[in-house]
Amino acid sequence: MSEHAPVELLVCTTCRRGLPVEDDAQRPGALLHRALSAAELPEGVILKPVECLSNCDQGCSIVLRGGPARWTFVYENLNEADDVATIVEGVTKYHATADGLVPWRERPVHFRKNCAARIPPIGA
């Protein structure tokens, strides 16, 4: 195993971001996942769609997790059109760590202000 375990970027595809969207394929969460599918994610980052992260009132949500030694983070209030570059920056920095702890000042500003949860590593 390499020094850094692969990272999973989970995207809630059912998020409506408070909008009355009837077409599931046009939900903001689904659009965010589609936009991230087209983005340049670092090698070793696995993008996964998930249904409902139960954070429905807080905009689109994502999870960053990776292996038994890394902290897991849940970020909220993301926008499918405006925040793709922010997510790519954040996951790139997260991927570069062994423990998932990017120094606070080095995190994208949106990540600093919109962290819904941080969960200790399974191996801790």
Is 41 within the bounds of a domain? yes
Residue 28 phi/psi, 5-degree rounding, is: -50, -40
- What is residue 51's DSSP assignment? S
| DSSP one-letter string for 95-117 | HT-SSS---GGGS-HHHHH-EEE
* Per-residue tokens: 35: 């936009």
Is 43 within the bounds of a domain? yes
Q: What percent of the chain has pLDDT over 70?
A: 97
pLDDT tens-digit map of 27-67: 999 999 999 999 999 999 999 999 999 888 888 999 999 99
Residue 88 phi/psi, 5-degree rounding, is: -60, -45
Q: Which residue has the tokens 């195993």?
A: 1
Range of the domain at 70: 7-119
Distance CA 7, CA 64 (A): 7
Task: Report if pTM > 0.85.
Answer: yes
Is 112 within the bounds of a domain? yes
Number of domains the chain is built from = 1
Residue 51 is part of a domain; what is its CATH number?
Answer: 3.40.30.10
Is 1 within the bounds of a domain? no
